Amino acid sequence: MTQPNARTPSVPIITIDGPSGTGKGTIASLLAAHLGWACLDSGALYRVLGLAAERAGLDLEDGEALGRLAADLDLAFLDGRVLLAGEDVSAAIRTEAAGNAASQVAAHPQVRAALLDWQRAAARLPGLVADGRDMGTVVFPDAEVKIFLTASPEERGKRRYRQLRDQGVEVNLKQLVGDIAARDERDSQRAVAPLRPALDALVVDTTTLNIDQVLERVLNLVRQIVEERQGTQGADSTP
Ligand code: C5P
């Protein structure tokens, strides 16, 4: 995989972690746009790897082979599109099947190690908003602000159902809720980088909130933390 240079230490970072269907991706990109910062959708890396593995006919249980594939992945993010060996796979990686394959390949330590530098190298000035499962715990443990979004499993299933239906995809709500629960279980129980809030993360329950309300709440938390820090350090970088 073509990797940019190592992380610039002074780049401010906001991490947004949580299970699927909490609106993390939407909130991360809105927040990044609001701040004029870069945005890292780390889930896309695992989704592309899942797709590449299936295309190569690899066994999704074979951590060694998947780790090698991850290290050599010809991946690029360009103008909001995701390219695998030059092919636009932005739509192909958003299916439920791709999400499930992503969750399987993501459980292997060899895969996570191979993708670590790539994710850290996404940090660039003036700042980075990174969304995923382990942004605050493993990839950017020294991030300035760590947010962990939650929502009830039923609400997350309904959101995903509406999203897929709006895209014209026929899905069964009960099966969808079951798939999401299985994915969360695998993400939370895996031995390496399990889905869980960092000790210093601020948890926001989005069950009864719409996207605008979540964004407002997250922005308030970010401002509050930056102001507290300015109070102690005399810094100047209000979002
Ligand atoms: O966030 P998204 O649904 O695109 O992620 C797909 C899958 O990739 C997740 O279910 C999870 O297994 C994996 N993932 C991960 N660590 C991340 C981001 C995603 O393990 N930082």
Residue to mutate, 16, 42, 146, ligand 1, most ligand atoms under 8 Å from C-beta: 42
What pLDDT is recorded for position 164? 83
pLDDT band at 3 (very low <50, low <70, confident <90, very high): very low
Atom 5 of ligand 1, nearest CA residue: 43
Burial of 95 (0-12, 13-18, 19+ CB in 10 A): middle
pLDDT band at 201 (very low <50, low <70, confident <90, very high): very high
Indicate whether 46 pLDDT > 70: yes
- Mean pLDDT across the chain: 90
Measured distance CA(99)–CA(97) in Å, rounded: 5
Indicate whether 88 pLDDT > 50: yes
Indicate whether 4 pLDDT > 60: no
Percent of the chain's residues with pLDDT above 70: 93
If you average pLDDT over residues 127-136, what whole number do you get? Answer: 97
Instruction: Report whether residue 98 contacts ligand 1, using a CB cutoff of 6 Å.
Output: no
Q: How many residues does the chain have?
A: 239
What pLDDT is recorded for position 95? 86
Instruction: Report whether residue 137 contacts ligand 1, using a CB cutoff of 6 Å.
Output: no
If you average pLDDT over residues 1-26, what whole number do you get? Answer: 77
Indicate whether 14 pLDDT > 50: yes
What pLDDT is recorded for position 9? 56
Q: Which of 35-39, 62-66, 179-183, 205-209 has the lowest mean pLDDT?
A: 179-183
Pick from 64, 80, 210, 201: nearest CA to 132: 201
Q: Quick check: 193 and 138 in contact, CB under 8 A?
A: yes
If you average pLDDT over residues 167-187, what whole number do you get? Answer: 86
User: For residue 27, what are its two tokens?
Assistant: 């909130």
User: For residue 162, what are its two tokens?
Assistant: 């509406």
Pairing verdict, β 145-150 and 202-205: parallel
